[in-house]
Amino acid sequence: MGVFFLVPIAAMFEFSTRGNSVTAPRTMEAWTNIIKTPDLVDAIIASLELAAITSIAMLVLLLPTMVWVRLRLPRLNRIVEFICLLPLTIPAIALVVGLFPISRWMRINISDSILMLSFFYLILVMPYSYRALDAGLAAIDIKTLSEAARSLGAGWGTVMLRVIVPNMSSAILNACLLSVAVVLGEYTFANLLTYENLQVAIAYVGLVSAGTSIAVAVASLLFAFVLLMVLSFVGRPRERMARAEETIVAPESRILPLRDSYIGVQK
């Protein structure tokens, strides 16, 4: 499996380090070209910004909605699921055509910035994010946990941020990672709506320098790997446990438990 995955990447890296002729020595020129090409750098920055905005918007929109539906409107669960999974069944080209009038209106009336793409990317990432969050919600008893928190005086915001989110951090990180991966790899929307994101820039650079476009592709893959590693380590819940064990030491028992006394005498 690893070989299946790594061999193409190694081949891409090998290609990106070839010289200009068959006999020319290996060179990192294609890689240094990445930072020497302003359009490419701008596209990378724009794609990263889009990934961040889309992930945050996805969480803000989906997580409270899914929690609310599970807690208060379980009958709507199927409908929400259907809506969230719908983009999977519609080809990207059909989505672009359908959304084009909205895009044009937004460009005229709101902004022409590439970051407006995040609105459309939000639709694209919904199926993947929904599945990840749904798995996380299914793993915890949110009804009981939220009711317990509410009975202790917590408002809905506190319930969400201090009870539900920490208990599904892995699912949230997975949803974010999938969103980032989808956004970084998106080409159709950006190209047809005439924005220049990472994939569009790679395609343009590829017309001039195949080596540089391959180097950018390898770099974006490596970025995704690093992100995955970082997120998987950050998401480890047991780290906190070890810290808490070290910091809090309970005092000696001062009140006898029932098995020793019915009257709770002080020692």
Partner 1 sequence: MTATQAGEARAGVEVRLEDLRRSYAGVTALDGLSLTLAPGELVALLGPSGCGKTTAMRLVAGLEEANSGRVMFGGRDVTGLPANKRDVGMVFQAYSLFPHMAAWENVAFGLQIRHVATGERKQRALDMLELVGLGKYANRYPSQLSGGQQQRVALARALAIRPQVLLLDEPLSALDAKVRSRLRDEIRRVQLEVGITTLFVTHDQEEALAIADRVGVMQSGRLEQLGPPTEIYSRPATPFVADFVGLTNRMRGDVDGGAIKIRGASIPLVHPDVPDGPAIALVRPEAVSLVTDGEIEEGPLVGTVIAVVFLGAVSRVTVDLGDATVLAQMQTSAASQTPAGTKVRLAFRNDPVLIQREEQAAPASA
Query: Can you give the binding site for partner 1, defined by CB under 8 A?
Result: 140-141, 144-145, 147-155, 158, 162-163, 166-167, 237, 240-241, 244-245, 248-259, 262, 264-266
Residue 184, SS3? helix
Distance CA 6, CA 146 (A): 44
109 vs 238, beta carbon nearer partner 1: 238
Nearer to partner 1, 68 or 187 (CB): 68
Closer CB to partner 1, 14 or 141, in the complex: 141
Question: What is the nearest approach in angstroms of partner 1 to the Cβ of residue 20?
Answer: 56
> Which residue is listed with tokens 């409270």?
64
Q: In the complex with partner 1, which residue's Cβ is closer, 112 or 246? A: 246
At closest approach, how far in Å is the CB of 246 from partner 1? 9
Q: Which helix (H) or strand (E) holds 78?
A: helix 77-89
**Residue 125 one-letter amino acid:** V
CB of 256 to partner 1, least distance (A): 8
Nearer to partner 1, 57 or 154 (CB): 154
- What's the closest the beta carbon of residue 78 comes to partner 1, in angstroms? 18
Kindly state the smallest distance separating residue 258's Cβ from partner 1, in Å.
5
